[in-house]
């Protein structure tokens, strides 16, 4: 049986549990990493703090770290920040495998796509780009990308592993035929989150007390970095005049906009607004458990939004911007949440009010059985068999 080799820039808290799951399902899976920058903790420039994930990043699967020979080695130094020629040599020594490259943001990714094909591997590309954001770019940019992607890079790829509807449309826009498209949805560890939801649900009032939050009332939850792409100021503005009694806003995260947010809260005398700072993966479950509605109000650049997957595992109604890639896949209008136009404060406000009225007990969770690790595993098996 061929094994699956994922190529990642660095260990990612959402992907590591997937690799472990695939091995548990007797699908031999390993990962090759270009950098170990975040393994022991690192300064996340967007969070503005040192981050050390409390979920295992390297457990349950085989992995290799390759030396980075970049002149300015870092995940944050753009395309040339990762240059790992050792991967090229390893590809020619590796038995014929399914090689899955995550994106084309770094030089190493481009080299692996080319040389994995030359070495006789089955080459797969798993990117994130949604078509609706691509169409916002200038005609010159799209033309240049058509030359680079459609007429060069994509020709080295056997299969394109799309994560959702907009991502599939992106590949088709750049000339990828249907037979090369394979659905491997963006997903989180649904089993873990649903188990936590079951345990924590009866403790809702107790958890609110422990977290220093109002025991009664409607809690609106935001979990993201305080950066422009996530548009946290939009949510504060919507909350300012939101006509909901006994309301509370909990914003889990941190980042460069924190001081601006604090001034806005103070100047407008906003009550029951809590900025938590960075909350790690295991602790964040408590915040999903105590909330009544979840909001993701991102602009262009939010290619998916895995926090929405997490929120749905806790039966939380969601309010998601139309520029968030997952809005086309995970949100059924009026059933599990609502979609609003990014930047439209009035619409965001109205959709929050509507979402609060959705009863959590009636939330449909069938979508999570599709956007799951199991679906990814089934799709990858098609390549092996």
Mean per-residue pLDDT for 365-374?
A: 93
For residue 49, what pLDDT band results from cuts at 50, 70 and 90?
low
Q: Which pLDDT belongs to residue 358?
A: 83
pLDDT digits (tens, 9 = 90+) for 78-96: 999 999 999 999 999 999 9
| pLDDT bracket for residue 361 (50, 70, 90) | low
Predicted pLDDT of residue 282: 82
Task: Name the token pair of 347.
Answer: 């619409």
Q: What is the reported pLDDT for 77?
A: 94
Nearest to 295 by CA among 357, 257, 338, 325: 338
The residue among 43 and 3 whose pLDDT is bigger is: 3
Q: What's the CA gap between 287 and 336, in Å, rounded?
A: 18
Q: Give the pLDDT confidence score for residue 48 in this predicted structure.
A: 54
Provide mean pLDDT across the span 370-381: 97
Q: Which of 42-46, 222-226, 369-373 has the lowest mean pLDDT?
A: 42-46
- Burial environment of residue 204 by CB neighbours within 10 A (0 to 12, 13 to 18, 19 or more): middle
Whether 52 has a pLDDT exceeding 70, the answer reads: no
Residues 347 and 341 sit within 8 Å (Cβ to Cβ): yes
The rounded mean pLDDT for the chain is: 94
Give the mean pLDDT of 108-137: 97
What is the rounded distance in angstroms from the CA atom of residue 372 to the CA atom of residue 369? Answer: 6
> DSSP character for 77?
S
Q: Residue 45: is its pLDDT beyond 70?
A: no
In tens, the pLDDT along 249-292 reads 999 999 999 999 999 999 999 999 999 999 988 899 999 999 99
Q: What pLDDT is attached to residue 232?
A: 98
How does DSSP classify residue 317? Answer: -
Q: Domain locations in the chain?
A: 4-188+371-384, 190-369
Kindly indicate whether the domain formed by 4-188+371-384 is annotated with CATH number 3.90.1150.10: no
CATH number of this structure's domain 190-369, picked from the four choices 3.30.1330.40, 1.10.10.10, 1.10.3720.10, 3.40.50.2000: 3.40.50.2000
d(CA 250, CA 213): 9
């Amino acid at each position: 049986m061929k094994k699956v080799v994922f190529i990642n820039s660095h260990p990612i808290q959402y992907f590591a549990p997937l690799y472990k799951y695939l091995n548990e399902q007797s699908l031999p899976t390993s990962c090759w990493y270009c950098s170990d920058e975040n393994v022991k903790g690192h300064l996340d420039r967007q969070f503005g703090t040192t981050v050390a994930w409390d979920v295992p990043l390297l457990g349950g699967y085989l992995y290799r770290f390759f030396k980075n020979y970049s002149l300015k080695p870092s995940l944050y130094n753009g395309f040339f920040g990762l240059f790992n020629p050792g991967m090229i040599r390893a590809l020619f020594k590796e038995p014929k495998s399914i090689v899955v490259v995550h994106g084309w943001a770094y030089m190493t990714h481009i080299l692996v796509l080319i040389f994995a094909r030359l070495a006789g591997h089955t080459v797969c590309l798993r990117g994130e780009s949604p078509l609706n954001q691509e169409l916002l770019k200038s005609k010159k940019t799209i033309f240049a990308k058509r030359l680079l992607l459609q007429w060069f890079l994509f020709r080295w790829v056997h299969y394109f592993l799309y994560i959702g509807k907009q991502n599939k449309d992106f590949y088709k826009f750049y000339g990828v035929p249907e037979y090369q498209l394979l659905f491997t949805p963006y997903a989180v560890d649904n089993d873990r989150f649903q188990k936590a939801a079951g345990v924590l649900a009866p403790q809702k009032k107790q958890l609110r007390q422990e977290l220093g939050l109002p025991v009664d009332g409607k809690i609106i939850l935001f979990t993201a970095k305080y950066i422009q792409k996530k548009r946290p100021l939009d949510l504060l503005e919507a909350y300012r005049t939101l006509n909901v009694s006994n309301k509370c806003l909990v914003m889990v995260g941190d980042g460069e906009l924190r001081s601006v947010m604090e001034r806005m809260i103070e100047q407008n005398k906003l009550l029951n607004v809590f900025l938590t700072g960075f909350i790690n993966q295991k602790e964040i479950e408590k915040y999903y458990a105590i909330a009544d509605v979840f909001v993701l109000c991102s602009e262009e650049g939010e290619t998916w939004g895995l926090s929405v997957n997490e929120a749905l595992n806790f039966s939380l109604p969601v309010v998601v911007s139309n520029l968030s890639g997952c809005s086309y896949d995970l949100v059924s209008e009026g059933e599990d949440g609502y979609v609003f136009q990014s930047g439209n404060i009035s619409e965001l406000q109205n959709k929050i009010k509507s979402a609060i009225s959705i009863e959590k007990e009636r939330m449909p969770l069938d979508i999570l059985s599709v956007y799951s690790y199991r679906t990814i595993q089934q799709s990858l098996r098609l390549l092996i068999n």
